[in-house]
A = this chain, B = another copy of it.
Amino acid sequence: MADFSRIALLTDFGASSPYVGQLRLGLAAALPGTAVIELISDLPAFRPDLAAYLLPALVRDLPCGTLYLCVVDPGVGGDRLAIAVEADGNLFIGPDNGLLALVCRSALSCCVYRIDWRPEILSPSFQGRDLFAPVAAALTLGRPLAMTAIAPTSLQGAEWPEDLPKVIYVDSFGNLITGLRAALLQPADSICVKGQQLSRAGTFHEVPLGTAFWYANAFGLVELAVNQGSATLELGLEVGDEIAMSPFPKLISESINE
């Protein structure tokens, strides 16, 4: 595996939680001098099926050579696998519950490994600290670790569609990020939510204060927003809610239903 210059944490642990803090203290002791950065700590709780669509978008424009430690893990302590995904010069570590499915699918090159190594002491509820963080430390240091190459097609979520017409994340402003890649839509397309048609704008200040619209966000995803307002409040939408495009693109329709 490549050398990794920095570690990014992507979790649903919450802001300022002791869970992120414990990960960081363990990593700081194992890897003094390596930058460890919280990329996001409020991924939708218990929802790897939604977070999966945010991950490739989030890392798309970030520098290569990063180890992404990813934990949204409602099945922790059960029999789900622990996996490492080497994709386009980055390494992703996390549970095999679909969380890394879209990172894998959207990569130009991708190798997947089952992590066979287990620590001596492994709490049933916090494997981010006890399993994934030590694995991240070992791989950053280039230490050998028991892993087995497996087929990307064997991963949970390998058959999921490439786009998801749902709200996958609500940011602190109330903007609604969807699982639709913006490149799929034409500027004249609109998004339908609860009987309302939203038109596209280039960015916020192009529409009047308080007006809802959709735009291609800085991660390349379709985002529903309100200029200087909260789309989640104005539109009454939350994480997991469905949206629709108009006209409904054939491409999406097929990949969802096939």
Binding site for B on A (CB under 8 A): 5-6, 8, 13-22, 24-26, 28-29, 32, 35, 37-42, 45-46, 54, 58, 61-63, 65-66, 74-78, 121, 123-126, 129-130, 169, 171-173, 202-206, 215, 217-219, 228
Contacts and interface: CB of A to CB of B under 8 A. Distances in A.
Contact of A8 (B20, B25, B62, B218): B25
A8 B16 CA distance: 12
Contact of A16 (B41, B173, B202, B203): B41
Nearest to A124: B203
A66 B125 contact: no
B8 A29 contact: no
29 contacts: A14-B172, A14-B173, A15-B42, A16-B38, A16-B42, A17-B40, A17-B171, A18-B39, A18-B219, A21-B37, A21-B39, A21-B58, A22-B39, A22-B58, A22-B61, A22-B62, A25-B37, A25-B66, A28-B35, A29-B65, A29-B66, A42-B172, A46-B228, A76-B205, A123-B217, A124-B202, A125-B203, A125-B215, A125-B217
Contacts of A173: 14, 45
10 smallest CB-CB distances across A and B, nearest first, come from: A14-B172, A126-B218, A16-B41, A29-B63, A15-B15, A21-B39, A77-B203, A15-B16, A124-B203, A123-B218
